[in-house]
């Protein structure tokens, strides 16, 4: 599928944008979270856990496919290392948000990413030294993914934050795991069974894969905000300079995303700015995709560009015990006084 890839799910909630919905499974909602949704109050784990217990931030970065990045199936230079670079940028943002390397795991396809790419040289070197250093198996096989998910299930508790990023090719019912074979499928049911055992105080699950709006709509993860960068039944897009997931995580620490300038970048603020940036990126490369891009042996996908079937429209599902007003990163900027009503 080349750089065509995909993402999340959503619908309407009265106080959230139209592409956002609350999961309608019955779960107990934290009073503080409920108040945040009603009044737009930004919340951190420290505010949800007033007992002062230390909050630990855990993260799992899974780049499950390198197909279309290098080698014989690379048709255009803009495709080179696009999944890998997206995962590296996510990791870099997690580190900036205070996630410590010992609490992060990073898996990549068959375990052999391109450490020589100069586009993100500093961040690549950091990932290599902190994660690809021989301390654990970095192959993104289903067995290895589930091994690490079981590990996180034993570590993460209700006083912690857990973030999971998945970058790969996908379909409405599964995500591709290249390390297990060209089209090995990791189904929504299997993801549900694994991630459901990890119960943080707050969780983020971001899926970068074609059609994954339909994919994550099948998940019931009350403690999580699930986000994607394309709709339920559309192709997505990724290249050396763009992935929806990297844009979102980068905005989690970018002061420009702090729309109300209160010093706290909420999930919703990062989501909104990432959407604007993703739309701008696709507008920039639209002419290139129509007239210059080398579709090579993957002929036929150019028709998806022409007919508008490639989407970078984000969608979000807010779990019933979660809130899009949650923030992980504080810019330490002095809030601008808001006018009194």
Instruction: Write the burial class of residue 176 (CB in 10 Å: 0-12 exposed, 13-18 middle, 19+ buried).
Output: buried
pLDDT-based confidence at 85, cuts 50/70/90?
A: very high
CA distance 22 to 1: 31
In which residue are the tokens 């948000």 written? 97
Instruction: Write the burial class of residue 8 (CB in 10 Å: 0-12 exposed, 13-18 middle, 19+ buried).
Output: buried
Show the domain range for 304: 20-327
CA distance 62 to 108: 6
Q: Provide the token pair at 1.
A: 């599928």
- DSSP code at position 310: B
Give per-residue pLDDT as tens, 17-36.
434 444 433 333 333 344 34
Beta bridge partners of 212: none
Residue 285 pLDDT more than 50? yes
* pLDDT, average across residues 185-192: 92
Say if CB 232 and CB 210 are below 8 A apart.
no
In a domain, 247, yes or no: yes
* pLDDT, average across residues 254-283: 94
Domain CATH code at residue 110: 3.40.50.1460
In a domain, 229, yes or no: yes
* pLDDT, average across residues 192-201: 94
Say if CB 228 and CB 207 are below 8 A apart.
yes
Give per-residue pLDDT as tens, 98-150.
999 999 999 999 999 999 999 999 999 999 999 999 999 999 999 999 999 99
Query: Which among 45, 93, 36, 110 is positioned nearest to 270, based on CA atoms?
Result: 93
**What's the number of CA atoms in the CB half-sphere (13 Å) around residue 295?**
14
In a domain, 11, yes or no: no
Say if CB 39 and CB 72 are below 8 A apart.
no
In a domain, 335, yes or no: no
In a domain, 71, yes or no: yes
* pLDDT, average across residues 46-65: 80
In a domain, 13, yes or no: no
Strand ranges across the sheet with 174-176: 170-171, 174-176, 185-187
Give the number of domains in the chain: 1
Residue 39 pLDDT more than 90? no
In a domain, 339, yes or no: no
In a domain, 337, yes or no: no
* pLDDT, average across residues 41-47: 67
Residue 314 pLDDT more than 60? yes
Coil vs helix vs strand at 113: coil
């Amino acid at each position: 599928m080349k750089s065509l890839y995909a993402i999340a799910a959503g619908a309407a909630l009265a106080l959230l944008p139209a592409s956002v919905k609350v999961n309608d499974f019955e779960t107990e909602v934290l009073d503080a979270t409920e108040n945040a949704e009603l009044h737009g109050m930004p919340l951190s784990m420290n505010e949800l856990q007033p007992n002062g217990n230390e909050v630990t931030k855990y993260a799992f970065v899974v780049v499950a496919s390198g197909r279309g990045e290098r080698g014989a199936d690379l048709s255009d230079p803009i495709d080179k290392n696009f999944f890998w670079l997206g995962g590296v940028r996510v990791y870099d943002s997690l580190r900036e948000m205070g996630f410590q390397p010992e609490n992060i795991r990073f898996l990549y396809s068959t375990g052999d990413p391109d450490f020589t790419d100069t586009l993100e040289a500093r961040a690549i070197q950091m990932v290599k030294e902190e994660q690809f250093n021989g301390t654990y198996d970095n192959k993104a096989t289903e067995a290895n993914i589930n091994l690490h998910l079981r590990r996180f299930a034993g570590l993460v508790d209700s006083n912690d934050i857990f973030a999971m990023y998945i970058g790969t090719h996908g379909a409405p019912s599964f995500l591709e795991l290249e390390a297990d074979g060209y089209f090995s499928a990791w189904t929504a049911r299997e993801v549900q069974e694994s991630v459901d055992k990890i119960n943080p105080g707050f969780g983020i699950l971001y899926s970068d894969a074609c059609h994954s709006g339909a994919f994550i709509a099948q998940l019931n993860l009350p403690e999580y905000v699930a986000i994607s960068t394309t709709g339920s039944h559309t192709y997505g897009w990724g290249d050396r300079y763009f992935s929806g997931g990297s844009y979102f995580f980068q905005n989690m620490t970018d002061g420009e995303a702090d729309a109300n300038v209160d010093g706290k970048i909420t999930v919703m603020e990062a989501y909104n700015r990432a959407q604007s940036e993703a739309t701008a990126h696709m507008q920039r490369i639209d002419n290139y995709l129509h007239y210059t891009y080398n579709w090579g042996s993957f002929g036929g996908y150019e028709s998806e560009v022409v007919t508008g079937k490639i989407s970078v429209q984000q969608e979000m599902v807010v779990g019933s015990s979660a809130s899009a007003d949650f923030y992980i990163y504080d810019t330490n900027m002095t809030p601008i006084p808001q006018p009194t009503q």
